[in-house]
Amino acid sequence: MQPETCPAATAAGAEVATRGVGAPVLVVHGTPGGIDVAEIMARFLPSADFRVVTLSRPGYLRTPLPTAAPTLDDEADLYAAVLDDLGIDRVGVLAWSGGGPAAYRFAVRHPDRVRSLVVAAGLTGSWAPPEVSAPERFVGGTAFGASLARAAARLLPRVVVRLAVGGVSSLRGAALREHVAGVLHDPVRRAFVLDLARTGNTSGPHRDGWDTDVRNLGAIDDLGLAAVRAPTLLVHGDADTDVLPSHSARAAAEVPGAELAVLPGGTHFALWDHPEAGAVQARVREHLRQA
């Protein structure tokens, strides 16, 4: 979290933080996640140029579920209520992965509030959690596992980066070793992967959000992508196995005028861990500045 970030629980009931001045950008984290993940995602947005709004999606951390079984449209309407409470009229939106569907629905339901849209490796169809081993379930789904993950990120960074990258991509052998080495030797890319590894847990204050996402994302049929009117930039790595590139290809085909940037050898983290991440992030910043 940058020093100037100011947490504020809004009347809309969401855990929200803001920092910076300039073009407002709403940052929508993936599945699982929370405001901590949103802040990691937004590091490449300088406070001198952007007013960054991060939040925990419904059921994650200190954002309660608005109803017993909120829908993606309920979540989209929550974003509008958060902006109302912050006195923000229109925003750019940066969404990732499991946060993509609610971001698309926000753009459809509240077109006058979305200035521009960037979706990185975003879902556009049905999703179900992958089958994982018992050790992976323990680390990713228990409070003690979360503490082990935090310790491992500090003590065994090479192992953590390799497991994280290998778990969300088709990179193997020399390609995986080269990618891991590049991440470890780049302080910015390294910090992203290791900090993200500390957050990926579905237990405790993440449980309600995770269960809600599993239900809502598993039921996706038609997000109404053809009704998105905001200028849209899509980013996807072609080696992503967590959200297949076909999801962004579908959005590129259905969202009017959408641009699709496909990163060769890119993982599910491609916008942040790809060798060309800096150049792609510059393109994203320019897109989010659009009036």
Task: Check: CB of residue 26 under 8 Å from CB of residue 35.
Answer: no
Q: How confident is the model at residue 282 (pLDDT cuts 50, 70, 90)?
A: very high
Model pLDDT for residues 121-153, shown as the tens digit of each residue: 999 999 999 888 888 888 889 999 899 999 999
Find the radius of gyration of the CA atoms of the chain: 18
DSSP characters over 132-150: --HHHHHHHHSHHHHHHHH
Instruction: Please tell me whether residues 26 and 96 are part of one structural domain.
Output: yes
Buried b (16+ CB within 10 A) or exposed e, 38-59: bbbbbbbbebeebbbbbbbbbb
- Of the three residues 149, 175, 197, the one that is the final residue of a domain is 197
Residues 112 and 34 in one domain: yes
Same domain assignment for residues 13 and 123: yes
Residues 254 and 91: their CA atoms lie apart, in Å, by 22
Among 25, 47, 55, CA closest to 230: 25
What does the block give as tokens for 205?
Answer: 């204050």
Q: Taking residues 42-55, what's their average pLDDT?
A: 97
Give residue-wise pLDDT tens across range 244-256. Answer: 999 999 999 999 9
The whole-angstrom separation of Cα 91 and Cα 89 is 7
Strand order across the beta sheet in which 15-19 lies = 6-9, 15-19, 50-55, 23-28, 91-96, 114-120, 232-237, 259-263
Total domains present in the chain: 2
pLDDT at 5 over 70: no
pTM for the structure as a whole: 0.96
Give a yes or no: residue 1 inside a domain: no
Which domain does 173 fall in, by range?
134-197
> Alpha-carbon distance 222 to 217, whole Å?
11
pLDDT digit string (tens) for 256-272? 999 999 999 999 999 99
Give residue-wise pLDDT tens across range 165-213: 999 999 999 999 999 999 999 999 999 999 999 998 999 999 999 999 9
Closest CA to 58 of 84, 88, 26, 34: 34
* 114 & 217 share domain: yes
Regarding whether 190 and 72 lie in a shared domain, the answer is no
Residue 125 shares a structural domain with residue 232:
yes
Instruction: Kindly state whether residues 34 and 113 are assigned to the same domain.
Output: yes
